[in-house]
Structure 1
Amino acid sequence: MTALSARWHRSLSEIPEQQWQRLVGEEVSPFYCWDWLVALEESGSIVPKLGWQPLHLSVWRSDDQLVGVAPLYLKGHSYGEFVFDQAFARLATDLGERYYPKLVGMSPVSPVQGYRFHIAPGESAAELTAVMLELIDQFASRNGILSCNFLYVDPTWQPLAEAAGCATWINQQSLWTADGQQTFADYLAGFNANQRRNIKRERRAVEQAGLSVTPLSGADLDTSLLQRMHGFYEQHCARWGMWGSKYLEASFFDRLASPAMRERVVLFSAHRGDAREPVAMSLCVHDQQQLWGRYWGSEEEIDCLHFEVCYYAPIAWALKRGLQRFDPGAGGSHKRRRGFVARPLASLHRWYHPAMDGLIRQWLPRANALMEEEIEAINAELPFKVEPPSLSFVACDHG
């Protein structure tokens, strides 16, 4: 068998697009496509000066046969991850260790499930996962890095990484699933009567404000329209001040107008006349099966507009196209009452300080059990219609 060699890349553009796409495959999430990740880097959105140093690992058989890739970033902070590890950072300080920089595997600033090592067909995924983790461990040891963290992992890859020594930490996120629904009326029918009335009232409030919501996708999208979306995104972030989480530069939105990338994007424009002159807009990303909500903004404060542009209109659009899932993004308990069920979401970790590793691994089983209980409790209170139990009666002879 040909020996393996490893390379570390400070830019994804160092890995040929064709080679990357061959490994990740056609079914990969849009957030792990070569052009999406390169656009983040080349737009200046994900760069070292902002605390994101691209540091991708590739593994080769011979000089030209790429067999494994791991998108990785060396991070100087925990922003843009949406998995909150401040307790780990405090523990490192208590142990006299420097928590940053740390290695992170994810699609930057996108809390979307699907992280994995991408491995060529015909290779042993288990063996190559173990090899690549060992390469990461060696890199961390040489460079004094305290931890490596894989966030929002693909459930099919998770057992391979766990078998190679990664510790699992369970968090939660929201997800809507079609579950046989084909129309918005089907979606409404799943709620109890009170919540159905509430959703209808919220949608009516937007109509009464004189607004229509139009989805724009594919050839409808151009640089001008996507720059309007960037303006909404920037304005919305500015409302939150230092907590605004503004990460993406205007030139990233320019990239979204390219023929390949715009096919994965849909904008929901809230307007009173021309859909290209919105007063509010949201940006979603999609593939053949799923929709992801990412960003939104509004020039006016209009009751319930956020719910319409970010939840109801996207769900209606997804149902018309036969999409099966909608991930609305991180955070927000208000999502629950609109049909987004809490679900467990795993991140995988390796800590290179023995005491820290031991303490966290001792804590994780209890923390994960509590999170599972919390998810169960949240979902038990969702305003879905409850069907009466099906009862069977058997006649009894009392003679």
Structure 2
Amino acid sequence: MHDLMDTEQGFYFKWHDSIQQIPGTDWDTLTRDLDTPFLDWEWLHLLEESGSVSPEAGWQPCHLGLYSSHRLIAAAPLYIKYHSQGEFVFDQQIARLAMRLNRAYYPKLVGMSPFTPLKAYRFLVHPGQDQDALVRLMQEEIENFCLRHNLSGAHYHFVDHPWMKLLNTKNFASWLHPGFVWENHGYRDFDAFLAGFKSSRRKNIKKERSKLATQGIRIQALTGDDIQPEHLQSMYNFYLHTNQKYFPWSCKYLTREFFLGLTRDLKKQVLLLAALGEEHQEPLGMSMLLFSKDRLFGRYWGGMDNLPFLHFSLCYYEPINWAIQQGIQTFDPGMGGEHKLPRGFRLVPNYSLHRIFDPQLQHILSTCLQEANMHLQQNMDELNRTLN
């Protein structure tokens, strides 16, 4: 694609404008110990193959590979961005400030799993290599690449916390983004989970959860070979419906081909929850989640508008019930409102890291984020205390 750069240590970098240029087996050697599916070759490849991620969509794949003797020993999924859509960091105000100062903010380089505001991002390093040294080398090459190609900065979104400590973050501004997590404290079943609530909240959850059953609606869990193309077509239809409902705040980035492509290698990590009525052949609502090792991740959902608590059941209660049955330890439901807190979740910090090469812009951003992060953390702590 772009540059082929040698290092003094005998390694060399190569930039790829498609993940197809990197063998999947080589890439997944770097991800096999991770507890997230969102950096796996199959996931990133499907995003590109389906047209969800493309230059036309404002996401130019620009993946960095580090090689030794023609063997991939480290990699970083990266994208040249011409807008901020699909990042869930909402830095448009920074872009407007840059425009007023007559500075360029786009294009920029972004490291993340596209459209996925879940704590996962990191450089991928072969287990047998010196991770600290290679992370430093890769960051140096990324900064040099940005400067060579007039990219305004490098941004890493929803980073893995241990990896963030490896990166030399002194030149980065960190931005806190509130997230949510449910944790399994050895619950034997859903009732054991409810036992930890105050009686009023426990009663409310039972009431909400039973509402669908009184209407003859049951929830079916589908995984692996039980997932058929028609299920994913229905999931895509619900995804469209949800985005149309919340336009102009919609987040419609994925194509139909992406959903149907999940029937291949990825369905072993997909959980579909379908709300089925006694008199309906088609699902009344669905949610899509992914799981890896002992972690569960909520991604998309949709359903009929006239069914109370369908959203809570498909996105919170039934995923928790499934997680308990499967021995899942943590469940990240995705971004959303504080209504998650009285339903078993607590607030946790997620971070993005920002390196803008214009000194004035970087100083303004760093100064503003220090105060914003402090207030956000105080608010999160206060809300979490209300759970006790």
TM-score range, shorter chain: over 0.9
Per the TM alignment, residue 333 of structure 1 is displaced from its structure 2 partner at its CA by 1.8
Structure 2 match to 1:21: 28
Provide structure 2 residue ranges, at least 5 long, that are not aligned to the other structure.
1-7
Per the TM alignment, residue 273 of structure 1 is displaced from its structure 2 partner at its CA by 3.6
Q: CA contact under 8 A between 1:68 and 1:117: conserved in structure 2?
A: yes
Structure 2 match to 1:90: 96
2:147 to 141, 149, 156: 141
Q: CA contact under 8 A between 2:35 and 2:293: conserved in structure 1?
A: no
**Residues 279 and 143 (structure 1 numbering): CA distance in 2 closer, same or farther, change over 3 Å?**
same
1:35 to 42, 60, 72: 42
- 1:31-180 → structure 2 map (5 Å cutoff): 31-62=38-69, 64-163=70-169, 165-180=171-186
- 1:1-399 → structure 2 map (5 Å cutoff): 3-62=10-69, 64-163=70-169, 165-258=171-264, 260-273=265-278, 277-382=282-387, 384=388
What is the letter of the counterpart of residue 148 of structure 1? A
Per the TM alignment, residue 251 of structure 1 is displaced from its structure 2 partner at its CA by 0.9
Q: Work out the CA distance in 1 between the residues paired with 2:35 and 2:192.
A: 29
Per the TM alignment, residue 356 of structure 1 is displaced from its structure 2 partner at its CA by 1.2
**Residues 151 and 341 (structure 1 numbering): CA distance in 2 closer, same or farther, change over 3 Å?**
same
Q: CA contact under 8 A between 1:279 and 1:300: conserved in structure 2?
A: no
Per the TM alignment, residue 182 of structure 1 is displaced from its structure 2 partner at its CA by 2.5
SS in 1 for 2:38: helix
Q: Work out the CA distance in 1 between the residues paired with 2:316 and 2:340.
A: 8
Per the TM alignment, residue 2 of structure 1 is displaced from its structure 2 partner at its CA by 5.3
CA-based RMSD of the aligned residues comes to 1.7
Per the TM alignment, residue 164 of structure 1 is displaced from its structure 2 partner at its CA by 6.5
**Residues 275 and 266 (structure 1 numbering): CA distance in 2 closer, same or farther, change over 3 Å?**
farther
Q: CA contact under 8 A between 2:36 and 2:295: conserved in structure 1?
A: no
Q: Work out the CA distance in 1 between the residues paired with 2:51 and 2:278.
A: 35
Runs (4+) of structure 1 exceeding 6 A deviation are none
Q: CA contact under 8 A between 1:214 and 1:275: conserved in structure 2?
A: no
Q: CA contact under 8 A between 2:181 and 2:345: conserved in structure 1?
A: yes
Per the TM alignment, residue 162 of structure 1 is displaced from its structure 2 partner at its CA by 3.1
Q: Work out the CA distance in 1 between the residues paired with 2:252 and 2:279.
A: 28
Q: Deviations for 1:90-143, whole angstroms, at most 9, x for unmatched residues? A: 331232112112111111101111110011223221221111111111111122
TM-score using structure 1 length: 0.92
Q: Work out the CA distance in 1 between the residues paired with 2:281 and 2:74.
A: 43
What is the letter of the counterpart of residue 138 of structure 1? N
SS in 2 for 1:241: coil
Q: Work out the CA distance in 1 between the residues paired with 2:111 and 2:186.
A: 34
**Residues 300 and 363 (structure 1 numbering): CA distance in 2 closer, same or farther, change over 3 Å?**
closer
Provide structure 1 residue ranges, at least 5 long, that are not aligned to the other structure.
385-399
Per the TM alignment, residue 253 of structure 1 is displaced from its structure 2 partner at its CA by 1.1
Q: CA contact under 8 A between 1:70 and 1:105: conserved in structure 2?
A: yes
Q: Work out the CA distance in 1 between the residues paired with 2:242 and 2:366.
A: 38
Per the TM alignment, residue 215 of structure 1 is displaced from its structure 2 partner at its CA by 0.6
From the CA coordinates, give the structure whose radius of gyration is larger. 1
SS in 1 for 2:248: helix
Q: CA contact under 8 A between 1:209 and 1:302: conserved in structure 2?
A: no
Q: Work out the CA distance in 2 between the residues paired with 1:222 and 1:210.
A: 24
Q: CA contact under 8 A between 2:35 and 2:295: conserved in structure 1?
A: no
Per the TM alignment, residue 75 of structure 1 is displaced from its structure 2 partner at its CA by 1.2
Per the TM alignment, residue 163 of structure 1 is displaced from its structure 2 partner at its CA by 4.9
Q: CA contact under 8 A between 2:81 and 2:108: conserved in structure 1?
A: yes
Q: Work out the CA distance in 2 between the residues paired with 1:28 and 1:330.
A: 19
Q: CA contact under 8 A between 2:173 and 2:362: conserved in structure 1?
A: no
The percentage of counterpart residues that share the same residue type is 39
Q: Work out the CA distance in 1 between the residues paired with 2:278 and 2:44.
A: 35
